Structure formats: structure tokens, C-alpha cells
Structure 1
Amino acid sequence: MTVTTDPEASPTRRGLGPRGESRTGAWGLTALLVSLYVINYADKAVLGIIAQPLREELGLSSSQIGLVGSLFFLTFTIGGFFAGLLNRWMTLRWSLVLLALCWAAAMLPMVVVASFAVLILSRLFLGLAEGPSSALLHTAAYSWHPPARRALPGALLAGAASISKIAIAPLLAVITVGFGWRWALISLAAGGLVWCVVWLSTWRNGPYIASGKASNDSPAASADTEPATPWISIFRSRTFVTGALVVMSVYALVSVVLTWLPSYFEEGLGYSRLQSGSMFAFPSIVGLVLMVLSSITSDRMISKGATSRMLRIVVPSVGVLVSGVLLFLLPSVGTPIVAVAILSIGYGFAATVFPLFNAAVAEICPPRQTAGTLGVFLAIMAIGGLVAPYATGVIVDAAATPAEGYATAFQVLGIVAAVCAVLALVFADPERDRARLRPHAPAVEGATP
């Protein structure tokens, strides 16, 4: 007897994933997570937007502004280690609401009492509350996408930084110039509150990752039957170690861009304050385009049988090497628009590491350990932000001119990132480490067209 299959009845044709989930719903909820990450990065980026008005009103030096930027990443790093604990104590629904409310609250002390001490305390609190967010957001997004198709949702999350600087930073610059820096902070607090209302009315967990206090009868919980892997084995794997070094070095560049880029454009290259705030978006536009293109390509090629090492390690690492070369050349460039172009392209190539390396690291651990693994991975990444903003402020204060100081700082960042990329090219291999750490793992879902 011949059995015919109606192609219209296949899950793909009906808009359903391998486990029957709605792909439209999956991408809609992913978009909601991306919107929270946009707010997250706007909270970080606002310091760069209001840095010059703050310096003028409070009489701060470049080193002090850089110190504030680095102290944020101190508590951000510490907070990252709590992602796994939050994932066990609370559902994703309530843990992300709690974090978003804390971010909104952190915006307001400077509105009431403007001082250097209050600035430091509010940024320390913001860093602690934002630390666990990246791992939890990735865990939430991955719960709606099978392992072989996670680069694109990861790219959209990583691209939230770019979206924030493209869409939100220019708006914050307009608000700062037109109404004062306090209204920029108030606007961000209001945005966080609105997001919480939408989130509570729409979110539900996906079927691919068990999360926190999810019911044992839920699809995610029932699917996660793989034995746990010792944490120390995950953290000592060569993919985890070298991947952490690469993302840490690139995040150092990101943190300097967040803290200093408008100041570099204004003080170093001679653009106006409004132009500098608007041009904040240029590196992010390049980064967003390259992240999305590389991630779409990665998911499609892995689905067709390409290796994870080639697409999630080699390709982004080569991008970091290209970035390192471009940033190394920055001090020799005398034309402002060329300097903007070099920095933008270099930043864009480096930014491709985030979605692809996150997906590679998530691949080597069991689903139930995704939040904890990414929490530690991203906390280590944030160490780059702990050091780089303050070091940049010191370099700028010591340089003959601001332009020379900023260019030198970016050059150093490029060299360090390139060295770390070489280490990843030599040692990182997610497929090798997955086979060693997860001998009982089922076949990777989503790896067939």
C-alpha cells in the first residue's frame, strides 16, 4: 500500500516548528525580548549621550567619567553570575520583570539629586540589575528555537545594541539637547515600565529549554531529560575558555563605544554635540547588518550540514582579525569622516562574535544548564567593560590631544581582540567539546532542511 503525504499538512507548511510550536508566535515573543534588550542597551548608552553635559554641570574629568563607566561593568560582571540562580528561583516571566523594574528605578536618583556620588551609586545598581539579563534573555529566546537555528535570534538580541544606538540614541541626543539630560533618564524609566505591562500580558515559555520553576508537565520540562554535565568541565572546555577571551576583548571595545564614542566624535573629531549623538548609530548600523547576515548564513549552512566550528568560530574570529587591523590603523588617519568609517567598519566586523559565539557555547552544554553557562560566559565577557572605559579616560587625559588619546585607545583594543581571535581559531571547536561533554545528547534539532 502506498502512503502519500500531503505537503500542506507538514509542520513547516502550517507555520509550525518541529515540536508543533507556532513560528509566528515564536518570532513575536523573540521580538518582545529584543525590545527589552534595546531598553537595556539604551540604559547603558545614555551615559555616553549625557557625558559632556554631566562633565560641564558637575565639573568632572575624563577619568571620572571613565571610572563611572568601568564601575558599572564591575557590578554588571558580578550580576552575571546570578543568572543561573535567578533561573532556578523564579520563572523567566517574573525574573525579567524584576530586572526591568530595577533598571527603571536606577534611572531616577540622578534626576532627584545630581552629584558624582549619586551617579556612581545609580550606575552600580544598574550594572548589578543588568548583569543577569543577557543570559536570561538568550535562554528565553532559545526556548523558542531549536539548537541549529539559534544564530539568528541570537543576532537579533546582540543587534539590540545596534538598534538602540540607531533608533534610541539619536532620540536621546535630541531630548538631551532640547530638554536637558534629566529628561533622557526619565524617558528610559518610562519605557521600561511600558515594556513590563506588555510582557506580563503576552509571555509564555517555549518548548526547547526548561526554565526555572517551569511545570514538570510543560513541553520544555519534559523535553529536557539529558543528564547534567559537571559545571567545571563546561567552564574548562577550550571552546568556553577561548570564546570567553574573544567576547571579553570585543566587549571592551563595545563598552568604550558606549561610554566614549560621542565624546570622541565631539572632542576628538570636531563634530557638534547633536551630530555626535546622531553619529553614535554609524558603527551600530554596520554591526547590525553584518550580525544578521552572518547569523542567517550560519543557520542555513548548519541546516545543510556545515560544521559549527567553521560558521560559529572561524567566520566571526576572522571578522575580529579584520577589525583589529582597521583599529590598528586609526591613529594614522587624519580625516574625520575616514576615522568614523574605519571605526564603524571595524566595530561591525568585531560585533559578529556575540550571536555566533553565544550559540556555540550554548551548544556544548545540556539545555537545563544553558542559563547558568551563558551567565558565567557573559559575566566573564563583561570584565572587558570593567577595565576599558576607565583605561580610555586615563589615556585621553594623558594624551597631547583628545583625538590622539581616543585613537590610541581604539588601537590597543584592536590589538588585544586580534590576539584573542587567533587563540579561538586554534583551540575552539564546539562539536568536539559537545561530543566530550554531552555523550548522551540527542541529535541536534533543526539541523536538517
Structure 2
Amino acid sequence: MSTAETKAAVVGAAGSGSGAGARRVARTAWGITFMVMLFQMINYADKAVLGIVARPLSEDLGLSHADIGLLGSAFFILFSVTGLIGGFVADRIKIVWMLLGMVVLWSVLQVPIVLMGTFGALLVCRILLGAAEGPAASLNNVAVFGWFPKDKRALPAAIVTTGGSLAKVMLAPALAIVVAACGWKAAFLALGALGLAWSVVWLVVGKDGPYSVSRARERAQASSGTGKVARVAFWRIAIRPTFWGGSLGMLAIYGFVAVVLTWLPSYFEQGLGFSRLNSGFLFALPSITGVGALLFSSIVSDRLIRRGRSVRAARGGVAVVAFVLCGVMLLVLPYVTNSWTAVFLVVTAYGVGLATFPLMQIAVSHICPERQVASTVGVSVAIYQASGLLAPWLAGRIIDAAPTLAEGYATAFQTVGITAIVGAVLIALTVDPERDRARIAALDALTHADGSVDDEVLLSGGER
């Protein structure tokens, strides 16, 4: 979107061209960003609650470690599938209603757990909850993208992503207190109530922004016949290097996040010799480094855009630097003998790696028509989330095969570091959003021309 179109969209959303109208739009945009960050916090707390209630739950119902592990894995059975489908649905339904429906469903699914309190109810509800939360990882940023032009999306996307880290720092301790005082069922009840409270507020304040998919549909209808790209076949997006290279490159970082969530406390305790209590406290450190890295990288990325640097440099380039830093820190982990140095390397690598998520979602969303942002980002996220199913299991196999637990954990994290370096190389070679956006637009023009061929486009290799 050009600068003129950007100003027109903002003016239209504000209802006037006045400075006061623009300020109202800005306040609304940041208010929506805050609400979506809370959405992300609830989403993450729903995932993390099982770890918080694991011990009292197993004692109350007589569950084994394998049973608890099954409940954890059950969440991901339909997670990526609905994440993929949800993006295509969001191309056709207003994102504000998508988010509302998802949170209401999350809240309702807590009720059978509280009322029945059986292993079977837990298993079914966790499967359904995973299905209901699958689209959240992509749609949360899509909702925020609707309120900001492309050159200003990194910071709000980073703020939304910090919701997961803030949930670990703020909601997880609160839920632990609730469990200690009222039992494990109360944690699920509290999450259901929190989700319903968010839904009531969202019903009042939630709205689609001037750059949203729904507004893009309206603009596409209004500008039909002007040569602008309204919609393209999805396979044309999927074959572009930015899409598949960015999606495959992110497999390493999402796998790292899954390994951290599953094994980091055990690494601190069994691998580095910290007490169980101290390991629990140290587990909060990655969230702190994650928030810092997300905000810093987003500010740097947006500033590069404002200074005229390409999207490839500002989004993909910053992400590549983060990948390399993350990978190098994990690569040297087995050679570190000081426990605190090892803690520093792991938690810093986690924070730096986390910063790549909003950057790559912005890069991938840049190549497609605005009305297809939800499906494009949704499929990309679904692809790299697949590593969450495999990475913790592979890490466990590496740990079991090692001579000592300390060596096993260090080797598992080193393996993640190697994949991060590979991901950095892949992204550096493939991600070029401006190139791929131009080629998608040019190919669309060629395909839909009335029997004629645009020689200029052909001679330029499909790029304008």
C-alpha cells in the first residue's frame, strides 16, 4: 500500500481527516493491541496450566507420568490442522468475531473438566482445546496487522507475542496460588472465568482495523478493474521462496520453544545441579529475555524500514541475525563448565530466538494480497508448529542415549543450535518479500489478461 493509500485508510477509519481523528485511530490501535496481548496471555495459560496442576492432578486421580504426558500431547493432536484451516476461514469472516468465538470456546471447554474431573474428560477437553487454540498463533498478529501499515507492524506484533512470556511471569504464579488454596479444578475454573471476562470486554471494544482482511475485501471490490491484485490462488503464494523458506526456517525456533517448555526445568535441576525450587524460579528467566529481545528487535526492524531499508533487510535480515546468535549460543553449550554461564546462554538464546516469530510472520504476510493475510500466515504457522510435536521427543531420546544427564541435555540443546544455523542460512537465501510480492502480482496480471501477454512482464521474469 502506498503512502497515499495508507493515509486514506487511516482517514477513513477515523471518520475525518483531522489530527484528532488520527489520534483516535492511534489510541484504538494500541488498545486493540493490548487486548490481543491479553488474548495471547490466556492462550498461553491454557497451555501451561497442565504443568501447574500435574502433581495434584496425578495424586488425586492416580495418574502415572505417562498419563500426564498423554494429556500434554493430546493438546497438539488437532492443533496444527485447525491452525491451517482457521487462516482460510479468517479470510472470509471478520477477525474480531473469530477471536471472540475462539475465547468463548476455550472458556466453555474448561467446564466439563471442573464438573466431571475425570481423566477421560480431561483427555477429550484437552484435544478439543488444542483444536480451538490452533489458529490463535497466527490470528492474533493478523488482528493487530489490521490496525497498522506494513512499515509499523513489528512493534505491535512483538507486544502481542510477549503475551506468552507475561503469562508465564504473571498468570502461572497466580494459578499456582489458586491450586494451592482451592485445588486443581479451581485453576481450570479460573481460566474459564478469565476467558469469559475478556470476551465481554472484546465484545464492546473489538473491531477490525483499516488494514484488516475485511476492509481489504471492500477495497478489492471497489477497485475491481484497476489492475490491483485482489486474490490469487494460494499455491502461487506457497511456491514463493519467502513463504516456504521462511516457514521451514522457523521449524528450528518453534522446536526450541517446545524443548524449553518441556525440558528446561529438568535441565536446570538434573543437568546443572540447581535445586528444584531454584530451577522453578530460573524457569521464568527465558520469559524476561524474550520480552526484551522482542521489543528491541521490533524497534530496530521498524526503524530500518523508516530509514528506507528493504523489507528483506529489516525483517528477514534482523531475523537471520537472531537465528545465528541463538544457534551459536546453543552450539557452545556442551563446552561450558560454569552452571550460571550455561543458564545465561540458554535463556538468552531463547529470548533471541523468540524475537524471530513476529518478524517472519510480517515477512510472509508481505507477499500476499491483504485479503489473504490470515490464510497465508495461518498456513505458515501451521507448518513450523509441526516441530512442536517432534522436538521434545527427539530431545528425550538424545538425553536417554547420553552417558550422563548433563551431557544429554547439553547435546539436545546443541542439536537445536545446529538446526537454528541451518534455518538462518535457509532464510538468508530465500526470504525476499518485495521480490515475491511483485512476482505474485505480475503473474496474476498475466494469468487474468484477456488473451494477451504482457511482454514487459515476461521479459522481466515476472517481476515489475
Per the alignment, do residues 31 and 248 of structure 1 end up closer, same or farther by CA in structure 2, a change over 3 Å counting? Answer: same
**Structure 2 residue 164 is the aligned partner of structure 1 residue 161:** yes
Alpha carbons 1:38, 1:163 under 8 Å: kept: yes
**Structure 2 residue 22 is the aligned partner of structure 1 residue 14:** no
Per the alignment, do residues 255 and 52 of structure 1 end up closer, same or farther by CA in structure 2, a change over 3 Å counting? Answer: farther
Q: Offset at 1:76?
A: 1.1
Per the alignment, do residues 259 and 44 of structure 1 end up closer, same or farther by CA in structure 2, a change over 3 Å counting? Answer: farther
Q: 2:36 aligns with which of 28, 33, 38?
A: 33
User: Counterpart in 1 of 2:381?
Assistant: 378
CA distance in 2, matches of 1:163, 1:290: 13
1:360-379 matches, cutoff 5 A: 360-379=363-382
Q: 1:170 aligns with which of 156, 173, 195?
A: 173
Secondary structure at 1:73 match in 2: coil
User: Counterpart in 1 of 2:6?
Assistant: none
Alpha carbons 1:174, 1:274 under 8 Å: kept: no
Q: After superposition, what is the alpha-carbon deviation per residue over 1:386-424, rounded to whole angstroms, capped at 9, x for unaligned? A: 212333344445556554443333222222122111111
Question: Quick one: which amino acid aligns to residue 158 of structure 1?
Answer: T
**Structure 2 residue 294 is the aligned partner of structure 1 residue 318:** no
User: Counterpart in 2 of 1:283?
Assistant: 286
Per the alignment, do residues 13 and 94 of structure 1 end up closer, same or farther by CA in structure 2, a change over 3 Å counting? Answer: closer
Q: Offset at 1:48?
A: 3.4
**Structure 2 residue 197 is the aligned partner of structure 1 residue 197:** no
Q: 2:142 aligns with which of 135, 139, 151?
A: 139
CA distance in 2, matches of 1:215, 1:233: 19
Q: Which is higher, the Rg of structure 1 or of structure 2?
A: 2
Per the alignment, do residues 22 and 68 of structure 1 end up closer, same or farther by CA in structure 2, a change over 3 Å counting? Answer: same
RMSD between aligned residues = 3.0
TM-score, normalising length from structure 1? 0.85
Q: 1:60 aligns with which of 48, 61, 64?
A: 64
Q: After superposition, what is the alpha-carbon deviation per residue over 1:91-124, rounded to whole angstroms, capped at 9, x for unaligned? A: 3232212211222233344444555554443322
Question: Quick one: which amino acid aligns to residue 185 of structure 2?
Answer: R
CA distance in 2, matches of 1:323, 1:12: 45
Q: Which moved more, 1:329-338 or 1:278-287?
A: 329-338
CA distance in 2, matches of 1:101, 1:258: 26
Per the alignment, do residues 257 and 45 of structure 1 end up closer, same or farther by CA in structure 2, a change over 3 Å counting? Answer: farther
Gaps of 5+ in 2: 1-10, 445-464
Q: Offset at 1:75?
A: 1.3
Q: Tell me the percent identity.
A: 42
Q: After superposition, what is the alpha-carbon deviation per residue over 1:67-110, rounded to whole angstroms, capped at 9, x for unaligned? A: 54444233110111122343255332322122112222333444
TM-score, normalising length from structure 2? 0.82
Higher RCO (CA < 8 A, seq sep 6+): 1
Q: Which moved more, 1:189-198 or 1:88-97?
A: 88-97
Per the alignment, do residues 335 and 59 of structure 1 end up closer, same or farther by CA in structure 2, a change over 3 Å counting? Answer: farther
Q: Offset at 1:174?
A: 3.6
Question: Quick one: which amino acid aligns to residue 252 of structure 1?
Answer: G
CA distance in 1, matches of 2:19, 2:279: 47
1:24-173 matches, cutoff 5 A: 24-54=27-57, 58-61=62-65, 65-88=68-91, 90-113=93-116, 117-173=120-176
1:275-424 matches, cutoff 5 A: 275-396=278-399, 402-424=405-427
CA distance in 2, matches of 1:288, 1:303: 23
User: Counterpart in 2 of 1:258?
Assistant: 261
Alpha carbons 2:216, 2:370 under 8 Å: kept: no
**Structure 2 residue 247 is the aligned partner of structure 1 residue 244:** yes
Q: Which moved more, 1:364-373 or 1:187-196?
A: 187-196
User: Counterpart in 2 of 1:432?
Assistant: 435
User: Counterpart in 1 of 2:448?
Assistant: none
Q: Offset at 1:354?
A: 0.5
Q: Offset at 1:353?
A: 0.9
